[in-house]
């Protein structure tokens, strides 16, 4: 994929860990100019990447960071909004604080980052915004219900923003990957010994390989495509990159 994204100017939120970190590696390897945000976790050392500390839950901080990234890159073609949080939440046992944390981190932050990117992109002829949904939002989850609800909200926001901003050539999509992430590790910790049952379930529910994918190897090529001009005629979609776990539209 070397050179596929030559000259593309991309901002990755949540770039220090998980999907965000894999995206930074893959997109720079494909030739993109990349800026990335981190919050508390120190970012990895990736050549050529501009790192910016940002709490994506704070609107004013997000606005300043996105504009600073665009200034550094000479514009902004793509926002890859990978910042987010998974945590358990069983219906009937969920607290106010747990709801607020996930709403702030997964929903408010998505809206703040998207609006800040749109403000820059609309003045420069357009751009592409990529959010992250989840299979749990499609199927429902008895152990992470608030997370599932927030990711359902991300998908709904993505459709709304896509309809609103299309006239200014700003496209918005959401990806629903099933890959190994820190959130998947927290799920296994939460399940404890029952994680073995999850492994058995995935063998039958993920047709391609029977397990979670690798963020760089399996999701990376899709990220390159959606960050490229090749995806210019797509907007408002929730796209599963999950080995067949959720067959949307089936």
pLDDT per residue as tens digits for the range 52-105: 999 999 999 999 999 999 999 999 999 999 999 999 999 999 999 999 999 999
Structural domains of the chain sorted by starting position, each given as residue range(s) with its CATH number in brackets: 9-180+216-240 (3.40.50.720)
CB 172 within 8 A of CB 165: yes
**Whole-prediction pTM:** 0.95
Mean pLDDT on 218-226? 98
Q: How far apart are CA 148 and CA 145, in angstroms?
A: 5
Residue whose structure tokens are 């069983």: 90
Q: How many helices (H) and strands (E) does the chain have?
A: 9, 7
pLDDT per residue as tens digits for the range 153-188: 999 999 999 999 999 999 999 999 999 988 888 888
Mean pLDDT on 21-49? 95
Q: Sheet of 50-53: strands edge to edge?
A: 50-53, 33-38, 9-13, 78-81, 127-132, 170-177, 238-241
Backbone angles phi, psi at 239, to 5 degrees: -110, 120
Question: Does the pLDDT value for residue 1 go beyond 80?
Answer: no
pLDDT per residue as tens digits for the range 66-76: 999 999 999 99
**Contact residues for 229 (Cβ-Cβ < 8 A; gap 6+):** none
Q: How far apart are CA 248 and CA 88, in angstroms?
A: 24
39: Cα separation from own chain's centroid: 15
């Amino acid at each position: 994929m070397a050179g596929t994204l030559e000259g593309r100017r991309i901002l990755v939120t949540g770039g220090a860990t998980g999907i965000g970190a894999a995206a930074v590696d893959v997109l720079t390897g494909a030739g993109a100019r990349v800026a990335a945000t981190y919050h508390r976790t120190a970012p990895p050392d990736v050549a050529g990447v501009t790192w910016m500390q940002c709490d994506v839950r704070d609107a004013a901080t997000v606005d300043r960071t996105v504009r600073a990234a665009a200034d550094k890159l000479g514009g902004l073609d793509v926002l890859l909004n990978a910042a987010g949080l998974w945590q358990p939440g069983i219906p009937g046992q969920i607290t106010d604080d747990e709801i607020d944390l996930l709403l702030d981190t997964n929903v408010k932050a998505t809206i703040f980052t998207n609006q800040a990117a749109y403000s820059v992109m609309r003045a420069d002829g357009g751009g592409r915004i990529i959010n992250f949904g989840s299979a749990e939002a499609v199927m429902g989850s008895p152990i992470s219900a608030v997370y599932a609800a927030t990711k359902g909200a991300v998908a709904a926001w993505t459709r709304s923003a896509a309809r609103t901003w299309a006239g200014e050539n700003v496209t918005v999509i959401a990806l629903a990957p099933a890959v190994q992430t820190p959130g998947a590790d927290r799920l296994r910790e939460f399940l404890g010994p029952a994680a073995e049952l999850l492994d058995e379930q995935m063998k039958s529910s993920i047709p391609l390989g029977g397990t979670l994918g690798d963020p760089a190897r399996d999701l990376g090529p899709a990220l390159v495509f959606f960050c490229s001009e090749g995806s210019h005629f797509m907007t408002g979609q929730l796209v599963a990159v999950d080995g067949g776990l959720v067959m949307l539209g089936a």
